[in-house]
Structure formats: C-alpha cells, structure tokens
Amino acid sequence: MTPALPRHHTESHAGSVLSSGHGLGSTRPPTPGSVLSSGHGLGSARRRVASHQAARLALRALYAELALYPKPGLVSLIDNGSHDDMTALTFMRSLFSLRHYFAAICLAGMDAAPFARLKQLGMAAERRMMAATGGVNTHRGAIFGLGMLCAALGRQLARRNAGLAAKVDPASLRAALLDGWGAALAAHTLAAPDGSHGQRAAQLHSASGAREEAALGLPSVFLVGLPALQATLARGGGMHHARIDALFALMAHVSDTNVLHRGGAAGASMVRDRAREFVELGGTRQPDWHARALDTHRLFVRHRLSPGGAADLLAACCLVQAFSVHAWP
C-alpha cells in the first residue's frame, strides 16, 4: 500500500475552496433571456448567489467522498487505496479546477439550457480537470453526475415563482432532471463510445454506465444510496456512518465499470458480495463495522479493485442531501 499523504497540503486547499468560495464570483451570467432574470423568479444577483452556493455544496460533496475512510480500494486522505496513479492531492487539484463549472451549469439549468449546452460545459470542465491533474481522470463521472444535479437544481429554482426559500426535496430534483433533459440523456446513451476505460468495460461486460444511470434519473442515487444515507441519519447515526452505509449499499447494487475494467467479472462479483455481506450484517450498526470495512479495503487493495463509480454516486448522494436541507436565498 502506498504511504499516507501529507494532510496539511490537502487541508489548506480544502479551506480555500470549500468555505471561502474563492474564485466563484468570476463566473459570468448566461445570456440575457434567462428564466429568472426575465421576471419568472429572482433577479440576476440572487441567481449568482444561488449558483455559487450550489457550487460550494458540490465541492463539499466531492471533498466528503475523498475524506471518507475506510473506503474500500479508493483514494482517501489516509492512503491511496488501489491506485499508484493518483493521490488525495491529485483529487484536490481536480476539485479546485471545477469550482467555476458547477456554478456555470447551475445557471444554465436556470435558463433551461439544452443538453448540448450542458455537455459543452461538462467537456470544458473535463479539459480543466485533465490539465490540473496532468492527464489523470479523477472526477469524470462526478463532472457528469453532479453537474446534471446542479443543472436540475437550477431548473427547479427557476420554476419556483414564489421565491427560493423553500427546500429542494429529492423527488422534485429528480423530476426536474428528467423533465428537463430526460429525452436528451436517453439519446446520449446511444451515442458512440467515448473510448474511456468505463465505456470499454461496459461494452465488454454488457453493463450499464454513467450515461444509462443519468438517462434513468440517477436511480442508484435516489433509490439506493440516498435512502441508505437517510436511514442511518434517521436512527441517530452520524454523517460519517451514513456515508459509509450509503457507499456499501451502492457497491452492493451498481455494475461498476471501474471495477470491471480493473478486475473483470470476478472482481465485480467480489465487490458486490463483500458489500452485500456488510449491508446484510447491519452496516455501521454492528460494533465491529469499522474492522469489517477496513478488512474489505485491504482485500480490494490486494486485488487492485477500485469502485470509483460507487464513489461518484456517493458524492451525488451527499450533494442531493445537502441540496435538500440547504436554505436557499
């Protein structure tokens, strides 16, 4: 296992990105025909405030996923998991590069922008990520999934003519995603493969990937991961326990193309079986849950397995939860 990373560097970046909102103010508002600025909601100043808050919540969700531990096979602030090609610092550089993107795509959602525009923003964000990481793909799935959630939030806020004070509930957020871009997302699943490891693994093993997940309105987020997270919170568990339970629920459920790429069908079965066992034994309700999760982490590292798709979905769950409890301006 690779040695633990120096935490002072990552934490200093976290403070500047996650709490101060540094750099978000330079995001340009979209073209004049915007839904909100045309009188169907709030003015341009409050549009910017809401989009910047959405961006900060998205960055915090990504950081929450990175900081979680034990997290089987995945990069954290403690170790690099099954990876020798990336560290927590790589993820922090990637995260910092996305600070404008989430605000911009939320504004585009407020304008009911077509999927082609959202895709354009996402592709530009990917280029910035790759430049920041030296060509390492850290957040490609999150750019797509969390970006669409920010767009759906923007659409939902734009439709609230009475103002933004009401909370955004998960069901409404999913409905906004499907109402706004469901047909385009479905068509996107039929597009030519992009040549990524995930796409090749999905083809080889006839598995669904991020495109199919988004076209269905992120069912793994809204019907699997988020309910697991909320169930733990409802029984009095803390957010750390809730995120662990959500991650294992997702690993037990999804066909993770990252795992298929690294470990094939046998590796995917190992991930699902270990995750299901953890869930069936009660998850973090069991006194020895930490030891079990750590054992799973060590097992995945030995086999070089990394459920990155589940990690992206966990970040999306964290974001939906944050959206739903945030007091919007």
What is the DSSP track for 28-39? PP--TT-TIIII
State the pLDDT at residue 265.
87
The contacts of residue 242 (CB under 8 Å, 6+ apart) are 228, 229, 230, 232, 233
User: What is the pLDDT, as a whole number, of residue 249?
Assistant: 98
- What's the burial of 177, exposed, middle or buried (CB within 10 Å: 0-12/13-18/19+)? buried
- In this structure, is residue 2 part of a structural domain? no
In angstroms, the CA 85 to CA 82 distance is 9
- Rounded to 10 deg, the angle between the 308-325 and 140-158 helix axes is 20
Q: How far is CA 162 from the centre of its chain?
A: 29
Q: How many CB atoms lie within 10 A of CB 34?
A: 20
pLDDT in tens, the chain (329 residues): 444 443 334 444 444 445 544 445 444 444 433 444 443 455 788 899 999 999 999 999 999 999 999 999 999 999 999 999 999 999 999 999 999 999 999 999 999 999 999 999 999 999 999 999 999 999 999 999 999 999 999 999 988 754 544 458 999 999 999 999 999 999 988 765 555 554 544 444 334 566 788 889 999 999 999 999 999 999 999 999 999 999 999 999 998 888 887 778 889 999 999 999 999 999 999 999 999 999 999 999 999 999 999 999 999 999 999 999 999 87
Which of 317, 207, 200 is CA-nearest to residue 261? 200
The set of residues, in sequence order, having a beta carbon less than 8 Å from that of 282 and lying 6+ positions away, is 289
Handedness of CA 274, 275, 276, 279 (dihedral sign): positive
Asked, for residue 132, whether it belongs to a domain, the answer is: yes
Q: Is residue 56 part of a domain?
A: yes
Please check whether residue 305 is in contact with residue 270, taking contact to mean a CB–CB distance below 8 angstroms: yes
Q: Is residue 40 part of a domain?
A: yes
CA separation for the pair 21, 13 (Å, rounded): 11
Residue 205 lies in a domain: yes
Q: Cα 147 to chain center, whole Å?
A: 8
Closest listed residue to residue 264, CA positions, set 207, 201, 208: 201
Residue type, 317: C
Q: What is d(CA 262, CA 305) in angstroms, rounded to the nearest whole number?
A: 6
Asked if residue 266 is part of any domain, the answer here is: yes
282 assigned to some structural domain? yes
Q: Is there a domain that residue 106 lies in?
A: yes
pLDDT of residue 214: 82
How far is residue 25's CA from residue 52's CA, in Å, rounded to a whole number? 8
Give the range of the structural domain holding residue 245, as residue numbers without chain letter.
7-193+200-325
**Which pLDDT score is estimated for 163?**
57
The helix or strand, by DSSP H or E, that contains position 282, with its residue range, turns out to be none
Distance in angstroms (rounded) separating the CA atoms of residues 309 and 245: 16
Quote the pLDDT of residue 206.
37
As for how many domains the chain has, the answer is 1
DSSP at 40: I
316 in Cβ contact with 274 (< 8 Å): no
Residue 15: what pLDDT? 45
